[in-house]
Amino acid sequence: QERMETDEALRDLGYEVQRDLDGGDFSTVKLAKSKKYQKTVALKIMQIDKHVQTEVSILKRVKHPHIISVLDIFEMAGRLVCIVMEAAPSDLEKAKKFQSVIPTDQARTWFSQLVSAVVYLHKQNIAHRDLKCENVLLTADNQVKLIDFGFGRFSRGFPDLTREFCCTPAYAAPEVLLKRPYDPKKADVWSLGVILYWMVVGRLPFQNWFDFPLEEPCRDLISYMLRYYYLMRPSAKKVAQHPWLQMKRELQVNHHTRV
């Protein structure tokens, strides 16, 4: 009943709901045709709470090619917030269902795009705190779009430590799981390491650690991000400068030189 009422209210606002894409404890995502924007969009509908306020605050502030674009934000019935976003047909988790691992060159491209988004956020003094494969969307033209900023945190100086538990446990840094004071940006870097491992190995880390064939630069980058002590972990900017990610740029330069 409530779902039908929501869909009806959205129809009155010019959004023809086609289907539900995702649903959880905190939000529902719907695919809809927009009269105003003349295209298919994603509608994220959430009950108003502190996480929603954080997400809205961050999305209004950021603009990056690999962070989801927001078209509109409005309240519904005084208790719901609807975020109108560009639609993307897939995510990293779904992409791997069709293959045991993601090919190295594709993994490098997607991971490079994801890291560029995280570097941008950290430069804006924003930590994501829930980086995981389901939160990395893939557009129809194969571009990464980072979503879901409900656990995001604005930094208030350096170092900015917190004890608040966020993140999906499988992607959480040791210090987060142990409920110790942690640096949210360095916790993001750990989550990036888990994502890359999952992309190129096909499973989450710490199950038969490194018993697989993997080129040394990629193995080195994963080890770099998954350092137990957060003070020994690189910044996102350092990750972006790693030789394995620079290989893509070198290949592109060499290709253009040959042409």
CATH assignment at residue 136: 1.10.510.10
Number of domains in the chain: 2
DSSP H helices in 24-158 = 50-61, 92-95, 104-123
For residues 166 and 180, state if they share a domain: yes
**Do residues 77 and 122 share a domain?**
no
> String of b and e for 202-240 (b: at least 16 CB within 10 Å)?
eeebeeeeeeeeeeeebbebbebbbbeebeebbbbeebe
Residue 176 in domain: yes
Last residue of a domain, one of 86, 103, 133: 86
**Within this chain, do residues 81 and 103 fall inside the same structural domain, yes or no?**
no
259 falls within a domain: no
pLDDT given at position 259: 44
- Of 28, 60, 86, the one marking the end of a domain is 86
Question: What pLDDT, on a 0 to 100 scale, did the predictor assign at position 100?
Answer: 83
Calpha distance 78→76 (Å, rounded): 5
Residues 71, 96 within the same domain: no
- On whether the CB atoms of residues 181 and 161 are closer than 8 A, the answer is yes
Judge if 186 and 76 occupy the same domain. no
Domain boundary among 63, 86, 109: 86
Locate 13 and state its tokens: 């606002």
**Is there a single domain that holds both residue 108 and residue 205?**
yes
pLDDT at 156 (0 to 100): 74
Phi and psi, residue 108, nearest 5°: -65, -45
The rounded distance, in Å, linking the Cα atoms of 221 and 205 is: 14
Cβ neighbours for 77, distance < 8 A, ≥ 6 positions apart: 9
- 82 forms bridges with which residues in the sheet? 45, 74
* 12 catalytic residue (yes or no): no
**pTM, full prediction:** 0.91
Q: 258 lies in a domain? A: no
The encoded tokens of residue 26 equal 């905190």
Residues 140 and 230 occupy one common structural domain: yes
pLDDT for res 8: 92
Catalytic residue among 20, 49, 130, 148: 130
Residues 112 and 236 in one domain: yes
CATH of the domain at 76: 3.30.200.20
For residue 144, give its domain range: 90-252
One domain, residues 69 and 118? no
Per-residue pLDDT tens listing for the chain (259 residues): 678 888 999 999 999 999 998 776 678 999 999 999 999 999 999 998 888 999 999 999 999 999 999 999 999 977 889 999 999 999 999 988 878 889 999 999 999 999 999 999 999 999 999 999 999 999 999 999 999 999 999 987 667 888 888 878 999 999 999 999 999 999 999 999 999 999 999 888 876 555 567 888 999 999 999 999 999 999 999 999 999 999 865 555 444 444 4
Are residues 125 and 179 both part of a single domain? yes
